[in-house]
Chains A and B, each alone.
Chain A
Amino acid sequence: MARSNEPAVWSLFAAGGALTALVLPIHVLLFVFLVPFGVLAGDPDALLAFLRHPLFRLYAFVLCCLGLVHAAHRLRFTLVDLGLHGLAVPIAWICYLGAVLGTVVALYAVIVL
């Protein structure tokens, strides 16, 4: 059996898992709950300025990219484990292509922001 190229995607999966584990709960709490209720960054222009800051754009892009690869990798194995063994290859393609597409869209979003 030959060495697999899995490390290429596993390292992204691990980075994505670590980043989202560290940051995603607080990200959700802040942007999905507290900001909409005006608890933080209540002024829309101030919020916009915050979101447009290059560091935030970078952060958002990295979070989305790594998070999507992490999710794609996990979903790929989960779907196969749930019984779809024969479709293992197409499932892998669909999951990772989804992550790549999402990354491209995220890049576009932070650029036009």
Chain B
Amino acid sequence: MLRELTSVFVAYFAFWTICLLFQASRGPEQLAAFLTTMRKPGWLIWHAIGLLAVLFHTYTWFETAPKVLAVRIGEKRVPDRVIVGAQWVAFVVVAAVFFALLRLAG
């Protein structure tokens, strides 16, 4: 049930991202004001819970992926932990790329 409820935070962060975009469309001052608000303790605590929730979504999704996609090489079935591991590797690579892109931005 906890796994299913992470989807509430997935939806929430989608809406949050939309809000970010709307604030940005209003110009740099509005964007800066929005980001300042997001530093307030209340928002930080709420978003920390949200971050944990989406990380749990990632963890449970990666764990169940080998069940959905039975990957085979010839006769042998690729072990579940290899599929799980490969997803985490991809996760880290994507994280590094995003980090690098934002670094380059400014």
Q: Which of A17, A30, A45, A113 contacts B102 (CB 8 A)?
A: A30
Contacts of B7 in A (CB 8 A): 70-71, 74-75, 78
Interface set, chain B 1-50, CB cutoff 8 A to A: 1, 4-5, 7-8, 10-11, 13-18, 20-22, 24-25, 27-29, 31-32, 35-36, 38-39, 44, 47, 50
Contacts of A29 in B (CB 8 A): 51
Q: In terms of DSSP, what is the predominant structure of the interface of chain B? A: helix
Q: Which of B16, B22, B25, B105 contacts A46 (CB 8 A)?
A: B105
Instruction: Bin the interface of chain B by size.
Output: 35 or more
Residues of chain A having any CB pair with chain B under 8 Å: 14, 16-18, 20-37, 40-52, 60, 63-64, 67-68, 70-72, 74-75, 77-78, 81, 102, 105-106, 109-110, 112-113
Q: In terms of DSSP, what is the predominant structure of the interface of chain A? A: helix
For the complex formed, measure the closest distance between the CB of B66 and the CB atoms of chain A, giving whole angstroms.
13
Residues of chain B having any CB pair with chain A under 8 Å: 1, 4-5, 7-8, 10-11, 13-18, 20-22, 24-25, 27-29, 31-32, 35-36, 38-39, 44, 47, 50-51, 54-55, 57-58, 61-62, 65, 68, 87, 90-91, 94-95, 98-99, 101-103, 105-106
